[in-house]
Amino acid sequence: MQVSRGGVQDNESQSVAGGPYGGGLVAVVGSINADIVLRVPTHPLPGETTVTSSVEVHPGGKGANQAVAAARLGAAVAFIGATGTDAYADLAVAGLRDAGVDLTGIVAVPGPTGQAFVTVDDRTGENSIVVVPGANARVDRDLVQSHKGLLESAAVVVLQGEIPPDAAAVAAASGSARLILNLAPVIPLDKEIIRRADPLVVNEHEGRLALAMFREAEVTGTDGDVVEALLAEGIPSVVITLGAAGAIFSNGGPPVRLAAPGTTAVDTTGAGDAFVGALSSRLATGAPLEEAVRFAVRVGSFAVTRHGAQPSYPGPEDVLPESAE
């Protein structure tokens, strides 16, 4: 298997068992898209027409983004997913290939490759995204099951919400790997599958939707309250990403909030995926959750300072912003 063995420059301690860029295999089961990116002066209001001066097409998809982020940080990464047979297929896997991800788990199915239409506000860097699943909707139980051996060899399995629930369920139940479940978007998964997540990674909105899957009552309270409530439902560990505010997490103790480094955002597209990729790269080495979250916050903060999703992820030559605390 071809893997990437780089790693960003990092001034903080790297005394993780197995070495900072060693450790076990990260197996990502997820989506592959072509991102069609439009930069606009402001996001259009309902009924408004906005003119853009450029259209860019990049590799994307939450699953592919997370795999690329982990591989560029030095992790050994393998991917399971699907492209279509259209003109976007080769472009969509280009980032995975360039990062050294094992592509043997990717199949081509008749029809279009997944696409994401991304508008980015030039003033704030905030984005809005419409996704067309395409081939990602064809990632089924049989496809995942056909790569059972790969999943059983992994130290960490990473899932998101951009593939069908039955495929995610099979992947989550395969082998004894640590499961990182990024429930984005929130899809209807069996509660026992969610309880396998260690950690469950969600943003502040997704965290409340995930909790609503366990409770019929309206979900209220702070982000820390949501973390504690999800833990009370039997989930071993929970991480809630807070964008520019950092993240909050717990694996059983009181929730810990970590501030993000001060950076100027130019494009937030894929920053959450950079976070998950970085988190998985560290957890695959055996790093404790707090160390992995601290590192992931810094990687996510780096990603927003560059345009695009995969093009913004740090590689061996990049210096991460210092922790805010």
DSSP 19-78: -TT-SS-EEEE---EEEEEEEESSPPPTT-----S-EEEEEE-HHHHHHHHHHHTT--EE
What pLDDT does residue 266 have? Answer: 85
Exposed (0-12), middle (13-18) or buried (19+): which is 28, by Cβ within 10 Å? buried
Distances in Å between the Cα of 260 and the Cα atoms of 60, 75, 80, 271, 280 are: 24, 23, 31, 12, 18
273 given a catalytic annotation: yes
Domain boundaries, the chain: 26-32+62-113+135-312
What pLDDT does residue 262 have? Answer: 86
d(CA 239, CA 202) in angstroms, rounded, equals 6
Could you say which DSSP state residue 174 is in?
S
Exposed (0-12), middle (13-18) or buried (19+): which is 47, by Cβ within 10 Å? exposed
Record the tokens describing residue 228, joined without a space: 């504690």
pLDDT tens column, 247-284: 999 999 999 999 999 888 888 888 999 999 999 999 99
φ, ψ (nearest 5 deg) of residue 302: -65, -45
Residues of the chain with pLDDT under 50: 1-22
What pLDDT does residue 269 have? Answer: 81
What pLDDT does residue 22 have? Answer: 42
What pLDDT does residue 182 have? Answer: 98
What pLDDT does residue 52 have? Answer: 85
DSSP string across 195-251: TTEEEEEEEHHHHHHHHHTT-SSPP-S-HHHHHHHHHHTT-S-EEEE-GGG-EEEES
What pLDDT does residue 325 have? Answer: 64
d(CA 131, CA 52) in angstroms, rounded, equals 19
User: What's the number of CA atoms in the CB half-sphere (13 Å) around residue 90?
Assistant: 1
User: What's the number of CA atoms in the CB half-sphere (13 Å) around residue 7?
Assistant: 15
3-state secondary structure of 17: coil
Record the tokens describing residue 223, joined without a space: 């982000």
What pLDDT does residue 130 have? Answer: 87
What pLDDT does residue 268 have? Answer: 83
Q: Which residue has the tokens 């409530």?
A: 229
C-beta separation of 168 from 29 below 8 A? yes
| CATH topology for the 26-32+62-113+135-312 domain | UDP-N-acetylmuramoyl-L-alanine:D-glutamate ligase (3.40.1190)
